[in-house]
Amino acid sequence: MRKYLIAGNWKMNMGPSEAKEMADELAAAWKGKTFNSEALICPPYVSIPFVVKAFRDTAFQTGSQNVHTKDNGAYTGEISTTMLKELTCSYVIVGHSERREYFGETDEVVAAKTHRVLQEELNAIVCVGEKLEQRKDNSYKNVVKKQVAAALEAGDSNDADRFVIAYEPVWAIGTGETATAEQAQEMHEYIRSLITETWGGEASDKVRILYGGSMKPGNAEELLSQKDVDGGLIGGASLKADSFSEILEIAERINK
Catalytic positions are 96, 168
* Residue ranges of E strands in the chain: 5-9, 38-42, 60-64, 91-94, 123-128, 163-167, 208-211, 231-234
Query: Contact 166/148 with Cβ under 8 angstroms?
Result: no
Query: Contact 156/199 with Cβ under 8 angstroms?
Result: yes
Q: How far apart are CA 204 and CA 221, in angstroms?
A: 23
Query: Contact 8/238 with Cβ under 8 angstroms?
Result: yes
C-alpha pair distances (Å), 154 with each of 29, 59, 98, 198 = 38, 29, 21, 12
Q: How far apart are CA 169 and CA 139, in angstroms?
A: 13
Beta bridge partners of 126: 94, 165
Among 185, 204, 203, 183, smallest CA distance to 193 is for: 204
Query: Contact 118/91 with Cβ under 8 angstroms?
Result: no
